[in-house]
């Protein structure tokens, strides 16, 4: 599938990605990897090359390579611990029981220290690095339609990557543009998905609404669970777009036909934060799934008369007053069961 960030075909349908996943980060018999102390600077030894048999390299060796380039460009002094280079985000992310051996193009670096010269070198010289993102001060996204959105900055390469989340009916694959959406680390048991599945078993909803969808994880989990109608919404353009994209990525696991995109990535990016909900994508079949971009407070205007279950996965969960205000308004205008995962 076409990637709106780099233009390549780096978005893969879920079944193909999942088929390759068990062996993607496993070493071959010829692989060797040196474990580094992440709280110390890497030792002054040559960085290992990728394995000549499979082309993979142990993640610590890759990070030592990254660290040295950043030190050469002055982004690090060379005395900081290895972990100071940044956060490694593998593609695709999934629950792992051991440190990975990385194939080419499988690592996104998220760093507060990296600058453009080093970023360009990392993408050009470290085969495992698919992209480099400089982390900003806050979490990417928008907390309110009246607030200024926050993003990280893509410095080089492509920052689109996938995560794989478990559900009772099988995994869902969630792609995202990491400079524009928050990081999620998949685990064997995802608490938000578990809470959704408990509510689905209790309520047996005909219609489920994920009013703050992010990249679409809960909506996809609800669809995977067989809920007949799923509606996803987010005010942030990147969340709405990638929710729609992930609907297409996981389509073969759902009871839907073709996914119709009503707005392109470029269309959505021209209006980064939306108030009045606009349709982004729809799909129909035995299930119906809709994706909107808009303010959750205005979403009731486009919802069907009966909504059995809704999730409000708000950024501001710690703001008890705002959470209470939004939940009361939702229950007054929409009704049905409501939970905060």
What is the model's pLDDT at position 45? 85
Domain with CATH 3.40.50.150 in the chain: 190-339
The whole model's pTM is what?
0.95
Binned at pLDDT 50, 70 and 90, residue 108 comes out as very high
Q: Which fold has domain 190-339?
A: Rossmann fold (3.40.50)
Does residue 319 or residue 271 have the better pLDDT?
271
* The pLDDT of residue 102: 98
Q: In whole angstroms, how far apart are CA 208 and each of 104, 119, 305? A: 39, 42, 12
What band does 166 get if pLDDT is binned at 50, 70 and 90? very high
- d(C-alpha 246, C-alpha 283), whole Å: 12
Does residue 229 or residue 10 have the better pLDDT? 229
Percentage of residues in the chain with pLDDT exceeding 90? 88
Cα atoms in the Cβ-side hemisphere of radius 13 Å centred on 309? 25
Look at 116-130, 287-301, 309-323 and tell me which has the smallest mean pLDDT: 309-323
Task: Confirm if 208 and 230 have CB atoms less than 8 A apart.
Answer: yes
Whether 81 has a pLDDT exceeding 90, the answer reads: yes
Strand spans (E) along 211-319? 229-234, 256-261, 278-285, 288-293, 309-311
Asked, as a colleague might, if the bond just before 92 is cis with ω within 30 of 0, I would say yes
Per-residue confidence (pLDDT) for residue 320, from 0 to 100: 77
Question: CB of 90 within 8 A of CB of 106?
Answer: yes
Range 9-31 average pLDDT: 96
- Give CA–CA dist 67/74, Å, rounded: 11
Report the mean per-residue pLDDT for the chain.
95
Q: Is the pLDDT of residue 154 over 80?
A: yes
The residue-averaged pLDDT of 221-241 equals 98
The reported pLDDT for the residue numbered 2 is 86
Q: Dihedral through CA 35, CA 46, CA 51, CA 116, nearest 10?
A: 90
Mean pLDDT in residue range 255-279: 96
Q: Residue 314: its pLDDT value, please?
A: 84
Give me the mean pLDDT over the 2-8 stretch: 92
What is the pLDDT at residue 318?
A: 67
């Amino acid at each position: 599938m076409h990637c709106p960030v780099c233009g390549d075909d780096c978005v893969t349908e879920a079944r193909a990605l999942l088929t390759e996943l068990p062996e993607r980060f496993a070493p071959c018999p010829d692989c060797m990897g040196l474990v580094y102390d992440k709280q110390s600077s890497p030792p002054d030894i040559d960085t290992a090359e990728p394995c000549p048999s499979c082309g993979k390299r142990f993640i610590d060796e890759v990070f030592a390579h990254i660290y040295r380039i950043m030190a050469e460009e002055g982004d690090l002094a060379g005395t900081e611990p290895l972990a100071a280079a940044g956060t490694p985000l593998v593609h695709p992310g999934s629950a792992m029981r051991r440190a990975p051996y990385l194939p080419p193009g499988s690592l996104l670096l998220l760093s507060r220290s990296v600058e453009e010269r080093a970023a360009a070198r990392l993408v050009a010289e470290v085969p495992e690095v698919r992209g480099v993102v400089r982390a900003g001060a806050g979490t990417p996204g928008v907390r309110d339609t009246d607030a200024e959105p926050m993003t990280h900055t893509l410095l080089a390469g492509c920052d689109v990557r996938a995560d794989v989340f478990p559900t009772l009916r099988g995994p869902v694959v969630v792609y995202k543009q990491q400079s524009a959406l928050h990081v999620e680390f998949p685990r064997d048991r995802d608490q938000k998905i578990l809470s959704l599945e408990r509510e689905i078993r209790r309520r047996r909803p005909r219609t489920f609404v994920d009013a703050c969808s992010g990249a679409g994880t809960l909506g996809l989990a609800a669809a995977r669970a067989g809920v007949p109608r799923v509606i996803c919404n987010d005010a942030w353009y990147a969340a709405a777009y990638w929710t729609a994209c992930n609907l297409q990525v996981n389509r073969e696991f759902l009871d839907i036909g073709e996914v119709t995109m009503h707005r392109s990535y470029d269309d959505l990016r021209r209006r980064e934060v939306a108030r009045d909900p606009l349709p982004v994508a729809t799909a129909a079949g035995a299930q119906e799934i809709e994706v909107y971009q808009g303010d959750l407070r205005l979403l009731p205007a486009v919802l069907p008369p009966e909504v059995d279950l809704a999730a409000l996965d708000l950024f501001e969960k710690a703001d008890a007053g705002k959470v209470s205000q939004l939940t009361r308004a939702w229950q007054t205008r929409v009704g049905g069961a409501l939970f905060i995962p």
